Structure formats: C-alpha cells, structure tokens
Amino acid sequence: MPLLVGLIVAGLHFLAAYFVWKKGKLQILAGYVEGEVKDKKKAAKYSGIYIIALGIIFIFIPLLPDHFYYVFAFYMLSAVVGAVIINIKVK
C-alpha cells in the first residue's frame, strides 16, 4: 500500500511537470507572478525538470522505509535548493 501511494504522488509530480514544461502552465507554480519572468520557456523547462526530479526522489520514500527521514529530508532540501537555483537562473 505505501508503494502505491508513493507511485500515485510521484505520478502527480510527473503530471504537474508535463503541464509546466510542455504546456507552459506556469500559473500552477506557487509564487509565480506574470511579468516577473523574462523568459517563460526557460522558466518552464527548469521548473519541469525540477518537478520531475522531486517525483523521482519521492518514489524512494516507500522503497526505503527504514531510511524514511533521510529520504524525506533530502526531498525537502532538494525542494528548497531547486527553487533557489531556478529563481537565480530565470531572473
């Protein structure tokens, strides 16, 4: 059951990445303000890759139940570092 939940959440990450990267729906990103980003395609690409990476990391949470806190901490750290890097590269 935990593996199924992990795969569903990872699938939602991949679906969100598809909408952001391929469809350019940057409006679903938290904190996105129209007009602040100069290059929307570049922002969509980096954000999509970032969301895919988070989905891949999330798959490992149910696969490594003994190391849940380490994987979850890595997930959260990746989320913060990724957001900072994207903001620096896009603006």
pLDDT digit string, tens, across residues 31-72: 888 888 888 899 999 999 999 999 998 888 888 888 888 888
pLDDT at 91 over 80: no
- With a CB cutoff of 8 Å and minimum separation 6, the contacts of 40 are 24, 26
Identify the H or E element spanning 23: none
Residue where the block lists tokens 């598809």: 18
Please check whether residue 61 is in contact with residue 4, taking contact to mean a CB–CB distance below 8 angstroms. no
**At residue 35, what are phi and psi to the nearest 5 degrees?**
100, -20
